[in-house]
Amino acid sequence: MPLNGTTYEYQPKDYKSDLKPIWCPGCGDFSVVAGIYRALAAIGRPPHEIAFVSGIGCSSRIPGYTTAYGFNSVHGRCLPIAQGIKLANPELLVLAAGGDGDGFSIGGGHIPHLIRRNMDITYIVMDNQIYGLTKGQLSPTSQKGRSTVTSRLGSLEDPVNPLLYVLAYGAGFVAQASPTDLAGMAAIIEEAIRYPGFAFVNIQSPCVTYGDESQQIKGLKAIQESLESLGHDPADRLAAMDLAQHYGSKLHLGVFYRNPAPPPTYGDLVKERQEQAAKDALPRERILELFIKK
Amino acid sequence: MAIRGIDFRTLSLMDALDLAILVEDEAQERYEEFAAQMEQHRTPEAARFFRFMAENEAKHGRELSARREQLFGRTARVVTPAMICEVEAPDYDAARAFMSPRRAMEAAFASEVKAHGFFVEALPAIRDAEVRALFEELREEEVEHQALVQAELAKLPPDSGLADEDFVDEPAAQ
């Protein structure tokens, strides 16, 4: 750790807490947290300048495994809480994380509002297509026909497509990663954090206990393809939406969309409004004049 | 991508030693993580083996560090942990709850093969004679590590042919 007045190059282990993860051995989330340590080291902000908020679920344990300020909050509510933290303390680097159920079922209604405000928050979804913590129920991203404890004869529902979901609402940064490429995943998370605004990273993170065979590492490797190798231009939103439609059949890794001209963040606009309002504001000792008629 | 931002053609001996130390550090850390996972999931035999591997990686790392210090003193390191990724460390996916010692050893063996492959692939690009000699030495050490794991495997009773999953209850529905 740095001493006052000295420069210090942060290493991934500086973001690793003493808490031992209790995920099942082989869980994709081990790679995700390792990718986050690497990304944070590359960004180089000290842990006390980072707030990490999650919802509920296996993956939502993740803030506890980092040395950042952490809040393992309420099911589906990590985004509004992260938003409150960011507005109250704009200097903090704010990360939000959770699973596909937390993000796209219980918390699905919160996502559009952070996108339309362009909140400067990085949202990482560990998408395993199942409710793992509660032992294998159908989740919003489970494939149609999937047999689970709550869909014995196969799911009748089409899955939510997380990539199209956020692209359609106008997210400025949308990417997908996988534990099949840890270094690539770390680079994508780093890029998401550096984006000035709402950044979404969908990570196909296999559940080794309740996950479908096709969603394990071997299955993911068989369908993965880097967007860069396809010659995809991340500034082309329509092309991104076209590629995002392959969610579930292909695993495209990389940045789908990065707004080349990011709009101001909500935090920037609030600050501007506060500065404007402060110009006309009465000094504190005259504040009662607003309420008392003379 | 196991390596990022390193050009083997221009790699100096000091950087090569630092890279090798980081490779050992990463593997040691990963084996320690695996041991902790096994302890968490009440799989003491596999945990013991992973601790054994972590100690081996640490020992090798210490030897390389001593050599580095003797040759280059405390000159600042240029190669960083971010530049290497899972060169010798087993993939996280290699661990499983209730894995048998045999399966743990097979996972470690696969990692030693992977590390050997890394040095084999890197060697043709290396121009510096001292770096080449070091990488050849490291490549041969990975072969020795494979033999070490194979020796541990040989101590096990014959394989029953049963998978670890055969001893685990089906997940209960809630």
Closest CB from A41, A183, A216 relative to B4: A183
- Residue A95 in any domain: the answer is yes
CATH code assigned at B123: 1.20.1260.10
AA identity, residue A70: G
Percentages helix, strand, coil for chain B (3-state, rounded to 5) are 70, 0, 30
Annotate A38-84 with three-state secondary structure. Answer: HHHHHHCCCHHHEEEEECCCCHHHHHHHECCEEEECCCCCHHHHHHH
- Total of domains in chain B: 1
* Chain A contact probe: residue of B93, B96, B106, B165 with most A CBs at under 10 A: B93
List of chain A residues whose C-beta atoms are within 8 Å of the C-beta of residue B36: 20
List chain B residues with CB under 8 Å of A42. 82
Assigned domain for A2 exists? no
State what percent of residues in chain A have pLDDT above 70: 98
Domain-located, residue A263: yes
pLDDT range class, residue A147, cuts 50, 70, 90: very high
Question: What pLDDT score does A290 carry?
Answer: 86
- Residue of A135, A181, A208 with shortest CB distance to B174: A135
Q: Is residue B1 part of a domain?
A: no
Q: Is residue B172 part of a domain?
A: no
Q: Find residue A278's DSSP bridge partners.
A: none
| Identity of the residue in B82, B96, B174 whose CB atom sits nearest the CB atom of A41 | B82
Residue B108 falls inside a structural domain: yes
Considering the domain boundaries, does residue B163 fall inside one?
A: no
To the nearest whole number, what is the mean pLDDT of chain B?
A: 92
Is B133 part of any domain?
yes
- How far is residue A162's CA from residue A111's CA, in Å, rounded to a whole number? 10
Please give the model's pTM, rounded to 2 decimal places. Answer: 0.93
Q: Is position B166 within any domain? A: no
Mutation choice for A interface testing from B80, B85, B88 by most A CBs within 10 A: B85
A135 and B171: CB-CB below 8 Å?
yes
Range of the domain at A207: 12-290
Residue B87 lies inside a defined structural domain of this protein: yes
Q: Does A38 touch chain B (CB under 8 A)?
A: yes
Q: Say if A1 falls within a structural domain.
A: no
Number of compact structural domains in chain A? 1
Is A5 part of any domain? no
User: Does residue B92 form part of some domain?
Assistant: yes
**Residue A267 domain-assigned (yes or no):** yes
Cβ atoms A94, A66 nearer than 8 A: no
Confidence band, pLDDT 50/70/90 cuts, at residue B171 = low
pLDDT in tens, A190-220: 999 999 999 999 999 999 999 999 999 999 9
> Is A6 domain-assigned?
no
Q: Domain with A156 in it: what CATH number?
A: 3.40.50.970
Mean pLDDT of chain A: 95
Residue A48 lies in a domain: yes
